[in-house]
Structure 1
Amino acid sequence: MTDHSRQIEDFGKNDDFWLFGYGSLIWKPPPHFDQRVPGYIEGYVRRFWQASEDHRGTPEAPGRVATLIDRAHWDTLTDHHGATERVWGAAYHIPMPYVAAVREYLDIREINGYSIQFTPFVPSSTSTSPTSDPIPKTINTLVYIGLPSNPQFLGPQDPDALARHILKSRGPSGENREYLFQLEEALGALGNESGDAHVSDLVRRCREIEAEGGGEEGASLEAFHKIGSTDEQEEVEK
């Protein structure tokens, strides 16, 4: 067994299972959590460079969802968007009796190209604990990342083409644009500095295309909500 495999196996045995969410987990949290803490990680860049064949697209027409790219690797790429020093999201503590069940839930939810990594998480300065125990200054968190080596990783994309692709994509969990719009809204609710320029730029481009009548390829969100798919299907995450 490798050291990484052993770390995965042992994580949570000391009631220290913390999960970092940077995509749909921000607004659609895992089950059984007893603490949710907004904050950020460093050393990564969030990008809509992961194909989604199981939630916001199909194998025939994959959608686009967020993943994290190691900053050192991102620096070697040509990207139309700059990068911030921090990736904001939310960390969830899972009590020890529920770790196995939550791990099984997450492994199913993140099956489409994501793998387990670990990274330090810094809680927001305004975070408070629901218990008498103080929140640590840094927390070692488990995070699901679509690494560049996974078959769903797409790499740098033209922002306008990416926005148009998001607008036309949909899958069992709903419309791809809904994922993007909800992510921007959820990030804004985390704090004054929690925005993401890449996400906001894609939202702006999508809104402009919609206003010009160019987003008709996807069904309206209202119509999609009527069949209840977003509430009934699992999100891909990160």
Structure 2
Amino acid sequence: MTLEQRFQADTVLQNTMADSSTDLWVFGYGSLMWRPGFDSAENLPALLHGFSRSLCIYSHVYRGTPEAPGLVLGLNSGGFCHGQAFRVAAGHKAPVLDYLREREQVSGVYVEKYLPVELADGRRIEALVYVADPLHVQYAGGLSAQAMASVVGQAKGQAGPNCDYVINTVQHLQMMDIRDELLEAVLELL
């Protein structure tokens, strides 16, 4: 993403944040689904078009270290992604955004985007989404399931073993009746 595109995305998000009368929707596709860390007024299964979930981010903090990185999920361009959308009441937007930025922007590997998302009840909303930056040094796109499992199997960070992250995500997706064949293949190889 170019600097201009980042600025435009940030401008849209800032305009949304500045409007104190509107709620904020957040789209989760990994640990945000099973450990959002903030209260929401509503949460529903949701579908994001144009991006797909992948273990494509080297984790140097939460699920690994710089010496022994782990892998966490990011969104790559193309395809679609089932996840969870959380509605944050208008009066709580600022502290939730501060929390999310502290959690998700530790190294700047994610780009904040405000994207259209389809909720399970048929509504279409705009949601804050954290997308992988393929130009970032921690981007790990293109790894095989075997290579992913090898990294995940040995990594541990501040939030615990990397394998727990994959297990929790697969279990949550299965509870939502969502199959993620690549994540399931990684889990089988652990």
Q: Considering the TM-score relative to the shorter chain, is it more than 0.5? A: yes
Q: Which 5+ residue runs of structure 1 have no aligned equivalent?
A: 72-84, 126-135, 207-238
2:185 aligned with 1:201, yes or no? yes
Among the aligned pairs, what percent are the same residue? 27
In 1, are the aligned partners of 2:56 and 2:140 still within 8 Å (CA)?
yes
Pick from 172, 182, 187 the counterpart of residue 186 of structure 1. 172
Distance (whole Å) between structure 1 residues aligned to residue 117 and residue 51 of structure 2: 12
Q: Deviations over 1:49-108 (max 9, x none)?
A: 10001100012211000101111xxxxxxxxxxxxx531110001111111101110001
Aligned-partner SS, 1:179: helix
In 1, are the aligned partners of 2:23 and 2:93 still within 8 Å (CA)?
no
In 2, are the aligned partners of 1:32 and 1:95 still within 8 Å (CA)?
no
Amino acid at match of 2:26: L
**Could you say which residue in structure 2 is the equivalent of 1:5?**
10
Q: CA deviation at 1:43?
A: 1.4
Distance (whole Å) between structure 2 residues aligned to residue 117 and residue 60 of structure 1: 30
CA RMSD of aligned residues (A): 1.6
**Could you say which residue in structure 1 is the equivalent of 2:91?**
97
Distance (whole Å) between structure 1 residues aligned to residue 162 and residue 103 of structure 2: 16
**Could you say which residue in structure 1 is the equivalent of 2:100?**
106
Distance (whole Å) between structure 2 residues aligned to residue 88 and residue 25 of structure 1: 13
Aligned-partner SS, 2:135: coil
**Mean Cα deviation higher: 152-161 or 169-178:** 152-161
Aligned-partner SS, 1:43: strand
**Could you say which residue in structure 2 is the equivalent of 1:52?**
59
- Map 1:14-29; keep pairs closer than 5 Å: 14-29=21-36
CA distance change for structure 1 residues 162 and 3 in 2, over 3 Å: closer, same or farther?
Answer: closer
Distance (whole Å) between structure 1 residues aligned to residue 154 and residue 123 of structure 2: 42
**Could you say which residue in structure 1 is the equivalent of 2:146?**
160
Amino acid at match of 2:185: D
- Give the count of matched residue pairs: 181
2:81 aligned with 1:87, yes or no? yes
Distance (whole Å) between structure 1 residues aligned to residue 111 and residue 8 of structure 2: 15
Distance (whole Å) between structure 2 residues aligned to residue 5 and residue 182 of structure 1: 31
Distance (whole Å) between structure 2 residues aligned to residue 5 and residue 45 of structure 1: 22
Aligned-partner SS, 1:30: coil
**Could you say which residue in structure 2 is the equivalent of 1:147?**
133
Aligned-partner SS, 2:62: coil
Q: Which 5+ residue runs of structure 2 have no aligned equivalent?
A: none
Distance (whole Å) between structure 2 residues aligned to residue 49 and residue 3 of structure 1: 25
Pick from 120, 123, 128 the counterpart of residue 137 of structure 1. 123
Amino acid at match of 1:172: Q
Q: CA deviation at 1:32?
A: 2.6
Q: CA deviation at 1:158?
A: 2.3
Q: Which is higher, the Rg of structure 1 or of structure 2? A: 1
Distance (whole Å) between structure 1 residues aligned to residue 138 and residue 16 of structure 2: 26
Q: CA deviation at 1:5?
A: 2.5
Amino acid at match of 1:103: L
Distance (whole Å) between structure 2 residues aligned to residue 3 and residue 162 of structure 1: 33
Pick from 54, 75, 93 the counterpart of residue 68 of structure 1. 75
Amino acid at match of 2:189: R
Runs of 4 or more off by more than 4 Å in structure 1? none
Amino acid at match of 2:119: P
What's the TM-score once normalised by structure 1's chain length?
A: 0.72
